[in-house]
Amino acid sequence: MRKRELCYREYVRILTQNEDHALVQMLATSTRSGLKFCPLEYIRVMSKELDRAISDCHLVKPESVVIEDLTVPKQIDRLDIFPSGSITDEVKQCEIISRFIEQCKGKNVLVYTDGSVYNGPVGCGSCASVLFPVSESDEVITQTSVVGQKVRSDDCEVEGIVLGIKMIVQYFQYCTSTRLVDDVYMFCDCDSAIEAVDKMVWNKFPATLRNLRKLLYQLEEMSVSVKLIKLPGNTGILGNVMADHSARDLAYKIFKGDVTASKSISIHDAYRIALEIAKKSWQRQWDNESTGRYTYNLIPIVGTKVICPSERSVGISYFRMLVHDTMLQDDSYRTGIADTPICECGQDNETVEHLLLRCSIHTEARQVMFDCMKDIGFLSKHKRITENLLLAPPCDKDISKKDNRIVKESLFEFLSSINRTI
């Protein structure tokens, strides 16, 4: 997986070089003789699948940020309605936000923005913004914008905010009422997009933020300030629903080919596609492999995170158990190191399962382990504790991350206390 990914990254890097770059030329001309590859030919062959995925796209080189870009008028600011996780219940959050919006009616311009991507994490993307004017008799304005055919949801969400700001500028340019208006409130359900705009994260969205910067100067001239508010998911708030639908519709139209969109792809997104392809190919191999099936049963999904114990010797024992190659009698007998597979207790073969769940020598340590699991209600949730449940990292949603951490900690404690080389 790593080898393939490295080849992909190198391939993308070479593609972004100028035509006359030595590596580009070598990539075009290098060959192989039988199984003897020139390095660049090897990269090219390894990257065929990636090439198919991005060959019709225009790769955008990373832009360097000019110092003068960094000064930006502070016309846009984040407003936290629920400071530092004070209210975490989503239903309550929705109630508070709805009340807040009710109070703003007739006083503030309200804008809702959303982005949408169809067909994969890097796919056809669009954004939409809905502007509710101060006077309720004025028409609600919805605008959408195409983002691209190979973009991520973050790109679309940030574009959505910029589109919203553009609409605010237009609104105040043509606004007939001359009365002084309070702040504009803008709602977005994507935290990282709000963060990107609030902190102006140039390296990720250089072109979009450059557009935003121009708009912010216009807002400054008009003395309009925008407060950005994070909406919890699925609020059912009208403006948010409208923005969501409009963005989704447009993303689907781009996918169907009814609307044209740029095929530019940023180098970061190309890396992301490369990672997805490499992971899929690794998963395919892992699914069809004939060896390592014990480990496959424990960890069927590649890239699953495994918790490591802090104590090194326990870590070695744990990983030996995961790959089914331990120093226990049963394994040692299989590999010809021991004369018998029988455990010291004399009751059965010393397998991992026997050690963890049955061996009478470790009853006391096992009781401590089970007591810890009982405390978190794990034993009542899982009637039968199996070696798989103890060893495997959770690959589905059956076991929460918190429960898993406690189960693994008790297992590591058990392994540490039994004093048996595994």
Binding residues vs Zn ion (CB under 5 A): 343, 345, 359
Phi, psi of 126 (to 5 degrees): -150, 170
**Cα-to-chain-centroid distance, residue 341:** 46
Give 365 or 399: the residue with its C-beta nearer to Zn ion.
365
Phi, psi of 149 (to 5 degrees): -95, -20
Q: Least separation, in Å, of the C-beta of 353 and Zn ion?
A: 11
Give the long-range contacts of residues 407-411, CB within 8 A, separation 24 or more: 407/373, 407/378, 408/307, 408/309, 409/372, 410/368, 410/369, 410/370, 410/372, 410/373, 411/318, 411/356, 411/369
Give 197 or 359: the residue with its C-beta nearer to Zn ion.
359
Give 185 or 414: the residue with its C-beta nearer to Zn ion.
414
Give 299 or 355: the residue with its C-beta nearer to Zn ion.
355
Q: Least separation, in Å, of the C-beta of 344 and Zn ion?
A: 6
Q: Least separation, in Å, of the C-beta of 317 and Zn ion?
A: 16
Q: CA-CA distance, 24 to 20, in Å (whole number)? A: 7
Identity of residue 344: E
Q: Least separation, in Å, of the C-beta of 357 and Zn ion?
A: 10
Give 104 or 342: the residue with its C-beta nearer to Zn ion.
342
Q: Is 266 helix (H, G, I), strand (E, B) or coil?
A: strand
* Tokens standing for residue 253: 């139209």
Q: Least separation, in Å, of the C-beta of 332 and Zn ion?
A: 14
∠ Cα 221 222 227 (to 5°): 105
Give 94 or 338: the residue with its C-beta nearer to Zn ion.
338
Give 14 or 345: the residue with its C-beta nearer to Zn ion.
345
Q: Least separation, in Å, of the C-beta of 270 and Zn ion?
A: 54
Q: Least separation, in Å, of the C-beta of 329 and Zn ion?
A: 9
Q: CA-CA distance, 361 to 258, in Å (whole number)? A: 70
Q: CA-CA distance, 263 to 150, in Å (whole number)? A: 6
* Tokens standing for residue 334: 């299989």
Give 267 or 345: the residue with its C-beta nearer to Zn ion.
345
Which single residue is written with the structure tokens 């910029």? 162
CB atoms inside a 10 Å sphere around CB 217:
12
* Tokens standing for residue 356: 């963890």
Q: Least separation, in Å, of the C-beta of 345 and Zn ion?
A: 3
Q: CA-CA distance, 284 to 300, in Å (whole number)? A: 11
